[in-house]
Amino acid sequence: MVRTAGKPVEPAPAHIVGPVPALARVGAVTAILASVLLVIARFLPYADVGGIRISPPHAPLDIAAALLWAGVIAAAGCYVVLGRLPRLWLAVLAVSGALAIGLGIGELYQLQGAGAHRGVEVFFGRRAVTSSIDALAGVWVHLSAYLLLVGTLVLTLLAWPRTTMDDNGDFDGRRPLVMGLAALAGLAGVLAVAARPQDTPDQVLQDISGFRVSVEIAGEVSLLDRLGLDLLSGVLIAFAVFAVALLAATLRPRLATVGALTGLAAYFLSSAFLLLLESGRYADLVIAPGGVLYLLSGLAFAALAAYCVRADGRDQDARTQLPTGRG
């Protein structure tokens, strides 16, 4: 407490929170519904590929990994509905909606016929020949979830300027540093999306004379080797990751920056854990640089969010002590 002219002056409150507009609450409800659909989709058949019915693995660890992102979305939606630190959680929802644009395009790609697909593709860690492909309930539920998240993004952007939440500005001096670190993490995230997440080891064949030859096995491809909606999906996800990473440090208050980084961390860590589980389940797949970068990007965003939670400026000379007057 500071004394001015003999009168005590209370320090500025850590956060100023006003009423939450109805648009924000509606967007939060759509996000909660989307998170429920993302979980339900893990238990539904995804597609019939070349006569093989493919479903997402739903072992306990797979469900836990999927719940990481879906659970963060649901928690953020619940806190917005309750009106608690709204911009923190609205930032989480906005990031998830931005990612959902590219993810939704990826589901539209699955609705296309076999002619639009590569000869061999990987579905949830399983290689399949795409001589035919028919989308099943899983594709439609995933697509519905992503459309709801895109709607959440629109509602969140409309509600953001009407949502009152600010702080005392102690974090402002750290924003350039956070922006630089977030740009590096965002670049790693872009590389994760662009690189192959999983590799298919070459098959070694040996003839009767003992001569060995390595045969390349088709599997996952990098972003530049994709075509059509599959390429567009990856480009939009990569763009969303880098744009959000750069914009995160500019959001006010400080906790809004935390929310944006948390949304990115939850998505990347969830994707990384699922890739690791899929690569360990099937012998013909191993983790590739893209999968490793997913994990590193998620950890980097999580660490940066934790830094922003603690870096509130109390260790800086942000609050100038005024000289004590005589009463």
Q: In the predicted model, what is the mean pLDDT of residues 286-294? A: 89
pLDDT at 14: 60
User: How many other CB atoms sit within 10 Å of the CB of residue 20?
Assistant: 24
pLDDT at 278: 86
Kindly report, residue by residue over 227-251, the tens digit of the pLDDT.
Answer: 899 999 999 999 999 999 999 999 9
pLDDT at 231: 93
Q: In the predicted model, what is the mean pLDDT of residues 49-57? A: 89
Poorest-pLDDT segment among 42-56, 98-112, 150-164, 304-318: 304-318
Is 287 among the domain residues? yes
Q: Is the pLDDT of residue 74 over 70?
A: yes
Is 69 among the domain residues? yes
Is 78 among the domain residues? yes
- Counting residues of the chain whose pLDDT is more than 70, the rounded percentage is 84
Q: What's the total number of domains in the chain?
A: 1
Average model confidence (pLDDT) across the chain: 84
Is 56 among the domain residues? yes
CB 158 within 8 A of CB 123: no
Q: Which DSSP helix (H) or strand (E) runs through 132?
A: none
Max Cα-Cα span within the chain: 103
pLDDT at 209: 59
pLDDT at 326: 38
Tokens for 158, please give them.
């409309």
Length of the chain in terms of residues written: 327
Is 7 among the domain residues? no
pLDDT at 15: 66
Q: Which DSSP helix (H) or strand (E) runs through 128?
A: strand 126-129
- Nearest to residue 272, comparing CAs of 69, 48, 85? 69
Chain centre distance of CA 49: 27
pLDDT band at 212 (very low <50, low <70, confident <90, very high): low
pLDDT at 78: 96
Is 14 among the domain residues? no
pLDDT band at 317 (very low <50, low <70, confident <90, very high): very low
pTM of the model: 0.86
Is 121 among the domain residues? yes
Q: In the predicted model, what is the mean pLDDT of residues 144-169? A: 91
pLDDT at 210: 53
Is 323 among the domain residues? no
Sequential DSSP letters for 178-198? HHHHHHHHHHHHHHHHHS-SE
Q: In the predicted model, what is the mean pLDDT of residues 273-296? A: 86
Q: Is the pLDDT of residue 224 over 70?
A: yes
Poorest-pLDDT segment among 21-35, 154-168, 181-195, 297-311: 154-168
3-state secondary structure of 203: strand
* The residue type at 224: L
Q: In the predicted model, what is the mean pLDDT of residues 9-29? A: 75
User: How many other CB atoms sit within 10 Å of the CB of residue 1?
Assistant: 6
Kindly report, residue by residue over 304-313, the tens digit of the pLDDT.
Answer: 999 998 875 4
- Nearest to residue 99, comparing CAs of 186, 184, 161? 186
Q: Structural domain of residue 290, as residue ranges?
A: 20-201+221-310
Q: Is the pLDDT of residue 178 over 60?
A: yes
pLDDT at 11: 42
CB 259 within 8 A of CB 87: yes
Q: In the predicted model, what is the mean pLDDT of residues 92-98? A: 96
Q: Is the pLDDT of residue 203 over 60?
A: no
pLDDT band at 128 (very low <50, low <70, confident <90, very high): confident
Q: In the predicted model, what is the mean pLDDT of residues 166-185? A: 88
CB 167 within 8 A of CB 253: yes
Q: Is the pLDDT of residue 322 over 50?
A: no
Poorest-pLDDT segment among 106-110, 154-158, 214-218, 266-270: 214-218
Q: In the predicted model, what is the mean pLDDT of residues 36-42? A: 95
Q: In the predicted model, what is the mean pLDDT of residues 310-323? A: 48
- Nearest to residue 185, comparing CAs of 233, 248, 236? 248
